[in-house]
Amino acid sequence: MTSSDPHPHDGDSSQDPGTPVLEAQALRKYFPVRGGRGAVVHAVEDVDLRLHRGEVLALVGESGSGKSTIARLLAQLMPATEGRLLLHGSDATVRGRRAFRRYVRRVQMIFQDPFASLNPVHTVRYTLSRSLRIHRGRLRGPALEQALTELLDRVQLRPPERYVDAFPHELSGGQRQRVAIARALAAEPEVLLADEPISMLDVSIRLGILNLLQDLRTRLDIGILYITHDIASARYFADRTMVMYAGRVVETGDSEAVTQDPKHPYTQLLVRSAPDPDGMEDRALGARGEAPSLVTPPSGCRFHPRCPFAVDLCRTEVPPLLEVGAARTAACWGYAERADRPSLGSILETYGGHRAAAATSTPAGATAAGKDQR
Amino acid sequence: MSASTTSGTGRHADAAVREPVLEIKNLSVDYGFGQDPTHVLRQVSLTLNRGEVLGLAGESGCGKSTLAYAATRLLPPPGLITGGEVVLTDRSGERRDILTMSDAQLRASRWQDVAIVFQGAMNSLNPVFRIGRQIADAIAAHTPGIRKKQALDRAAELLDMVGISPDRLSAFPHQLSGGMRQRVMIAMALALEPQVLIMDEPTTALDVVMQRQIVEQIAELRERLGFSVVFITHDVSLLIEIADRIAIMYAGEIVEDAAAQDVYRRPRHPYSRGLLRSFPPLRGPRRELTGIAGSPPDLRLLPTGCTFTPRCGFSTPECSRIHPELGPTAFAGAEPDRRVACILHGDVGTLPPELAER
Ligand SMILES: Nc1ncnc2c1ncn2[C@@H]1O[C@H](COP(=O)(O)OP(=O)(O)OP(=O)(O)O)[C@@H](O)[C@H]1O
Ligand SMILES: Nc1ncnc2c1ncn2[C@@H]1O[C@H](COP(=O)(O)OP(=O)(O)O)[C@@H](O)[C@H]1O
Ligand code: SF4
Ligand SMILES: [Mg+2]
Ligand SMILES: [Mg+2]
């Protein structure tokens, strides 16, 4: 491996961690709507992102919020509508297959579905050898065997002999995901983009995969973008967390801070809605509404149709990411120094007395603004 | 599913009188005919009490849906019920075994007595019909002689009940979000005011904010209409919040059955404990968790003795020889309402402190 010195990790982002290994600036992606006469899905809007070596950055958000789109943009599996990609500080936008291959060596992706991402007709040996050959040139004989053994050992498929000649159908979901990770490691990447790597796996084996990724980032100093809809797993695994809502980043910061003291009203709603047997009193109850259409996203703050604190400003101007603490930002006007800003209350207090709210059955249609235009 | 988790009242497990409404006794199911069927459910016994929310948790493939289908006699081939009873006690106190009802009795009972919301049901709405018509058709199918207008009115009422504006009657399924479609399915299941509502992973495909809304809605409806609920999910942490009692399933058997808070604070089965430690907490100390070593077994190749043995951190040599039955815990006198299937709770060996929290 190119760099195997154990890098003592520290999550303190106030120290300057140097140039990010991967950086995205003002990333934007619009998808045309089929038969939509020029209409587009505003899937990702103005996303900035910095990932350092040896760091785990979580991207959290509900389904359709743009997480996978960001992963695919960062992997350069499709072109961005706008924005820049930097690898070690220099422009990394690839043109042509050679450049793409060089890029992929350093930035590898792991997909959600370990059943679909491995070819069922090939053995583990074939899959891994192929990846080794593509990324590390011609390995053969004992050198190849050695490399295969190392890879399987690294993803804790032990003893390697037991797995190397297996077909995907002979492996469990967790074992397949380990093979997929081994395939990515064959490239000796600096960055792993892991798009919901555990959500299709059995509950009891999910942490095993997260712990494995944790081990890889420490030992191999890999930067990991961990995409998830499960904010508790982001707290468990990631140093920093970015929360997305309807294609925009709404909050960033240290994972512990974001989950324990969420600043953006949406993050608050998310945290207070997640199952949490230890926090049953702190429930956001009686909330209504759902994510908006991205074809005609709400003006201003995209959360405003659901936000109990929204004022005119929220409906007209897009809130920028404002500083809300040490190395923390939130895109909510409530944190701006302006006279016309909304005054934020607590989501808990707003929704906490849920009985009254829940009893007057709010027509969900009234709050699901724009949903029907999908 | 006490809506008032805040106050902690509403928890029916504490109710003085326990009156069973659905008793599943020694239910066994095979998949596949012929020489070598897979014994997917083996002697499952489980009781749902009136007014209770019973959570059924376990990993993918452990047989949760099979149990729901079998108990309602909706199991499609090659599934075959090979034994057991499912006794329903109706509001007048009359007891009937669903498994031995005639087809006519079954048709009359289904949806009236026990209604089920299937896993992935929200994707089974017919895309070409308006939802009002689909609900009305379902009502008509179970209410002989009802007029079309009446059925539509009832459909509007039901939509309103689950928080969807009745003007959505004319919407097509694709015009509704996943959460709204799921609520339509719940509304349909409640059309005939059943005593028992079985919901198979009703919120799994939804985001947590929507999940919270649905779960609240169910709690509110349950309190208003007084039905009992079997809530199936792999998400134990959700069940701890919403269920009165939780049954944990592993490889086709119930391995633990106890009040929700007891399962959470004092798990008695090694698998329950492992499952709870597979969900990283949202607050409290951040510590390393391991999940459970190995992976769930192939039901065609079950180990002898306790099926959890190969993954169990507490197993003894006895475990692979003796098949543990679901029975009292080691503290039977102090906790008569709990059952566990682990030989460590019997005379064999000593109970490790991790499974003996008081
Ligand atoms: N039609 C079938 N033929 C053969 N085996 C089946 C069939 N349907 C289910 N099984 C098997 O029965 C077992 C239990 O399946 P079931 O669907 O009840 O699990 P579950 O607990 O509901 O899982 P999930 O959480 O994934 O919904 C599994 O091993 C499954 O592979
Ligand atoms: N290839 C595509 N064509 C059109 N729309 C797309 C495409 N991929 C994603 N989208 C849309 O972009 C939005 C974000 O999707 P996605 O990035 O997959 O979200 P997430 O991964 O957070 O669930 C959604 O509205 C989705 O429907
Ligand atoms: S207060 Fe305004 S800017 Fe802040 S989240 Fe609510 S709507 Fe958006
Ligand atoms: Mg995705
Ligand atoms: Mg199921």
For chain B positions 105-164, those within 8 Å of chain A (CB to CB) are 160-161, 163-164
Q: Are A153 and A183 in contact (CB under 8 A)?
A: no
* pTM score of the predicted model: 0.89
The count of domains in chain B is: 2
B185: DSSP letter: H
Instruction: Please count the other Cβ atoms lying within 10 Å of the Cβ belonging to residue B58.
Output: 27
Residues B220 and B345 in one domain: yes
Average pLDDT score over residue span A191-214: 94
Residues B209 and B304 in one domain: yes
Domain with CATH 3.40.50.300 in chain A: 22-245
The answer as to whether B217 is a domain residue is yes
Contacts of A372 in chain B (CB under 8 A): 171, 175
- The reply to whether ligand 2 has any atom less than 6 angstroms from the CB of A227 is no
| pLDDT beyond 60 at A358 | no
Q: Which domain holds residue B211?
A: 1-20+48-62+199-358
Cβ within 8 Å, pair B295-A371? no
Q: Quick one: what percent of chain A has pLDDT higher than 70?
A: 88
pLDDT given for residue A365 in this prediction: 34
Residues B303 and B232 in one domain: yes
Rg of chain A over CA atoms, in angstroms? 22
Residues B56 and B203 in one domain: yes
The answer as to whether B253 is a domain residue is yes
Query: Among A156-165, A231-240, B342-351, which is the least confidently predicted range?
Result: B342-351
CA-nearest residue, atom 14 of ligand 1: B63
Query: Among A120-134, A164-178, A279-293, B57-71, which is the least confidently predicted range?
Result: A279-293
pLDDT given for residue B300 in this prediction: 87
pLDDT given for residue A17 in this prediction: 67
Domain boundary among the residues B163, B193, B223 is at B193
Domain boundary among the residues B193, B224, B246 is at B193
Interval between CA A294 and ligand 2 midpoint (Å)? 9
Cβ within 8 Å, pair A290-B217? no
pLDDT given for residue B349 in this prediction: 62
Domain boundary among the residues B193, B225, B250 is at B193
The answer as to whether B331 is a domain residue is yes
Instruction: Extract long-range pairs of A341-348: CB within 8 Å, 24+ residues apart.
Output: A341/A311, A341/A313, A342/A309, A342/A310, A342/A311, A342/A313, A342/A314, A343/A309, A344/A265, A344/A309, A345/A308, A345/A309, A346/A268, A347/A265, A347/A268, A347/A269, A347/A272, A347/A284, A347/A308, A348/A268, A348/A272, A348/A282, A348/A283, A348/A284
| pLDDT beyond 90 at A110 | yes
Q: pLDDT per residue over A317-353, tens digit each?
A: 999 999 999 999 999 999 999 999 999 987 777 765 4
pLDDT given for residue A280 in this prediction: 75
Residues B355 and B219 in one domain: yes
Of the ligands numbered here, which is closest to the C-alpha atom of A63?
2
The answer as to whether B98 is a domain residue is no
The answer as to whether B87 is a domain residue is no
How many CA atoms are closer than 13 Å to the CA of B18, on its beta-carbon side? 14
CA-nearest residue, atom 27 of ligand 2: A64
Distance CA B164, CA B330 (A): 49
Residues B270 and B133 in one domain: no
- In terms of CATH, what superfamily is A22-245? P-loop containing nucleotide triphosphate hydrolases (3.40.50.300)
| pLDDT beyond 60 at A354 | no
Q: pLDDT per residue over B15-30, tens digit each?
A: 446 899 999 999 999 9
Tell me the nearest-neighbour CA distance from A208 into chain B, angstroms.
6
| pLDDT beyond 50 at A374 | no
Q: What is the CATH number of the domain that holds B7?
A: 3.40.50.300
Contacts of A203 in chain B (CB under 8 A): 59, 234-236, 275, 278-279, 291
ipTM score here?
0.88
The answer as to whether B288 is a domain residue is yes
Residues B6 and B141 in one domain: no
Helices (H), chain B: 64-71, 103-109, 131-142, 148-161, 178-189, 208-225, 236-242, 260-265, 270-276
Residues B170 and B238 in one domain: no
Q: Quick one: what percent of chain A has pLDDT higher than 90?
A: 72
- The reply to whether ligand 2 has any atom less than 6 angstroms from the CB of A66 is yes
Residues B189 and B203 in one domain: no
The answer as to whether B38 is a domain residue is no
Q: CA nearest A198: which of A227, A220, A223, A225?
A: A227
CA dihedral A92, A93, A96, A98 (to 10 degrees): 20
CA A145 to the chain's CA centroid: 34
Contacts of A265 in chain B (CB under 8 A): none
Which segments in chain B show pLDDT lower than 70?
1-17, 348-349
Residues B157 and B271 in one domain: no
Interval between CA A329 and ligand 3 midpoint (Å)? 14
CA-nearest residue, atom 7 of ligand 3: A304
Q: pLDDT per residue over B237-278, tens digit each?
A: 999 999 999 999 999 999 999 999 999 999 999 999 999 999
Distance CA B296, CA B298 (A): 7
Tell me the nearest-neighbour CA distance from A212 into chain B, angstroms.
10
Q: pLDDT per residue over A239-297, tens digit each?
A: 999 999 999 999 999 999 999 999 999 999 999 999 988 877 777 666 777 788 899 99
| pLDDT beyond 50 at A359 | no
- Residue at token pair 């005119």: A312
